[in-house]
Homo-oligomer: A and B are copies of this chain.
Amino acid sequence: MRALLVEDDREIASQISAALKKERLDVYVADNGEDGLDEALSRNYGLVVLDVMLPKMDGWEVCDEIRQAGINTPILMLTARDSVDDRVKGLEGGADDYLPKPFDVRELTARVRALLRRDAVHRTGKIEIDDLIIDTNAKTVERDGKSIRLTPREYSLLVALARNEGRILTREVILEDVWDNEESLDNTVNFHITSLRRKVDTVEGRKLIHTVHGFGYTLRRSGGND
């Protein structure tokens, strides 16, 4: 997958470039806004990392033009550290995320990953966790190659858990998310977890849905134990 980096400071550019290459991206660097925009429009990039302060055309404008052209490649903006306005702008502009300078490379990497992951789910509509595959377009679930029939509630519940893989969701959050804040008992969640487990988590030793006593539930890749 190609990534476009628009950054005029060579030092920083090579640093970011290295980080992106580690993420197995093919990196193309533009050192000014105009070239960056041209590049973004002429090829299909999977990611654009865009500095705000740029010669010839600033980052906001580039971002804007990219969006105007109907391209919705994820864009990560690099904003100046102390400018509060930049952050507000960042939200309202078409950027998907932004990172204040100076930044830690690990943080850049984390954001890039998050963007790409989000995009992958968005694009393909598929969530894959171990041998569990959820196709959010077809609303179809399979585990271990075998397709599984879920009821609507079970399906929403599973998607909620899957979208938050590795994160503990409280019953409260689940109710908000899956039940849309309708008044329902905590136990309703318990109940549906049970039925979901019966369908999805039957194989001993490869459970995905875990109870975290006192907190809620989490969907986690089988890291060996449990």
Q: Which residues of A contact B (CB under 8 A)?
A: 84, 87-88, 91, 97, 100, 107, 110-111, 113-115, 117-118, 124, 137-140, 149, 151-152, 155, 166-168, 212-215, 218
Asked if residues A213 and B151 are in contact (CB atoms below 8 Å), the reply is: yes
A155 → chain B closest CB, angstroms: 8
- A-B contacts besides A91-B113, A107-B124, A140-B167, 19 pairs, CB < 8 Å: A84-B97, A84-B114, A84-B115, A87-B113, A87-B114, A87-B117, A88-B114, A100-B117, A100-B118, A110-B124, A137-B167, A138-B218, A139-B167, A140-B166, A140-B168, A151-B214, A152-B214, A152-B215, A155-B215
B167 touches A138 (CB 8 A): yes
Kindly state the separation between the CA atoms of A113 and B115 in the bound complex, as whole angstroms: 20
Nearest chain B CB to A81 CB, angstrom units: 8
* Residues on B with beta carbons closer than 8 Å to the beta carbon of A213: 151
In the bound complex, residues from chain B placing their C-beta under 8 Å from that of A107 are: 124
Considering the complex of A and B, which 8 residue pairs feature the smallest CB-CB distances, nearest first?
A152-B214, A87-B114, A138-B167, A139-B168, A84-B114, A88-B110, A84-B97, A138-B166
Whole-angstrom distance between the alpha carbons of A113 and B110 in the complex? 20
Residue of B nearest to A149 (CB): B212
A149 to B115, CA, bound (A): 29
Closest B residue, CB atoms, query A165: B138
A139 to B215, CA, bound (A): 9
Residues of chain B within 8 A (CB-CB) of A218 are 138
Q: Which residues from chain B contact A152 at a C-beta distance below 8 Å? A: 214-215
Query: What's the Cα separation between A117 and B214 when bound, in Å?
Result: 29
In the assembled complex, which residues on chain B have CB atoms less than 8 Å from the CB atom of A151?
213-214
Q: Which residue of B lies closest to A104 (CB)?
A: B120
Contacts of A155 in B (CB 8 A): 215
Task: Kindly list chain B residues whose C-beta atoms are within 8 Å of the C-beta of A168.
Answer: 138-140
Q: How far is the CA of A113 from the CA of B114 in the complex (A)?
A: 20
A35 to chain B, nearest CB (A): 28
